[in-house]
Structure 1
Amino acid sequence: MRVITTKDIQGIAIAEGAHRDGHEWQIVAVFDRVNIRGGQSQFLPTGGGDPFFAHTLQPGEVVCNEDAQMWHNATDFAPVDPVQQGHRDIFIVATNRWHKRRYGEDFDQASMHNGVSNWQADRPAEVAEIVEAS
């Protein structure tokens, strides 16, 4: 995900502010920061309050959090040199264990039935494992 900022565009890191996403675990990796100040990653007590973790991740740095245990946020950012555009590139992974999957059985069945690949032909062992677990 790339968020840009200019003298006219604020780099809004997280539009909704401090929040939880409903997944078990989340990983945020920063790949690039160019001409920006701000963008601090924060973990806060559930329900709000002062951050107990606050760090401006640099390229190559990663944070991981257990979503149910805390809120997360990132502060907005702006260009250091307002004549030049700035940006931050991040990669986000949100995951749940299979038995706590987010979308449920109806979604899984529709995905297998209407998915872009033919799961029955392409991955018969995986389909059999999913059916047996149901």
Structure 2
Amino acid sequence: MQKRIDSPIPTLFDAMEHDGFAFVTADVMQPLLQASGELSDWNAFTASWSQLGPDPYLAATGRQRRRRHATYAATAHGKVELAPHQPHYQSLQYNRLQGDIERWFEPVEPDVANGASLRTILAFCNGFFSSLAPGIATWHVEVHQFRIEASSTEAGEPTPEGSHRDGVDFVLVLLIDRHNIASGTTTIHAPDGKPLGDFTLTHPFDSALIHDPRVFHGVTPVTPLVAGEPAHRDVLVVTFHAKP
């Protein structure tokens, strides 16, 4: 089942409230972002994915993952401020491979963390997620730049932990680029394992919006279309979690 959103915010609200997720195509998402701010540094923003460091915490699987990380504090419908660099933490309940440890990743580069494109994406998320949860006054926000690499001998694993929840309130997954890869299909499941939908982020700005407490999500491994040539999937993941 592929869920396509062809109209703006009210339909997205309905999809999130009814299904717990929405697939947003680039032709819808890009104008929504532009209504929230500028994307004037988009080329430099996307180029920064070539400067990601390796993920040192993956052992037997997923060594093809590169990433950077940043944390923000947000006031609902208000300011989103960059916070001091800090570790990413998930409990074993939400991450059976790397749970219950503080994971330190290289920080998002300052020009990216404070740049127009990321600020615009965060402004959209703040407005959209705050409208879905009007009782939340402040948010803990995390930003993850991911590059998943694949080779002819080893598939790239966007979610080596399998279908999972992140332990937050809301998630945005925004496709930045995919080069010479097949698959990478996002799957959505109910907590009891029932499939709820699947879709593939194919074009830059294609996005998934997820209400994390309600549904599980995962991404199938990616493989090269042409063996021996570079192959990668680049995404930005933004999570919003209510501050206590």
Instruction: Give the alignment's TM-score, normalised by structure 2.
Output: 0.39
Q: Distance in 2 between matches of 1:85 and 1:53?
A: 30
Q: Distance in 2 between matches of 1:74 and 1:66?
A: 16
Q: Partner of 2:161 in structure 1?
A: 16
Q: Partner of 1:57 in structure 2?
A: 201
- Within a 5 Å distance, the mapping from 1:50-129 to structure 2 comes to 50=195, 52-58=196-202, 59-99=204-244
Which of 8, 28, 32 is 2:177 aligned to?
A: 32
Structure 1: runs of 5+ lacking an equivalent: 100-134
Aligned partners of 1:47 and 1:71 also within 8 Å: no
Q: Distance in 2 between matches of 1:54 and 1:85?
A: 26
Q: Percent identity?
A: 27
Helix, strand or coil for the counterpart of 1:68?
Answer: coil
Q: Aligned residue pairs: how many?
A: 98
Aligned partners of 1:2 and 1:87 also within 8 Å: yes
Deviation at 1:64, TM superposition (A): 0.8
Task: For 1:55, give the aligned amino acid.
Answer: F
Structure 1's consecutive aligned runs of 4 or more residues displaced over 6 angstroms after TM superposition are none
Structure 2: runs of 5+ lacking an equivalent: 1-145
Q: CA RMSD in A?
A: 1.0
Which of 187, 194, 211 is 1:42 aligned to?
A: 187
Q: Distance in 2 between matches of 1:11 and 1:85?
A: 12
Task: For 2:237, give the aligned amino acid.
Answer: I
Deviations along 1:80-100, whole A, 9 cap, x unmatched? Answer: 01121210000001111223x
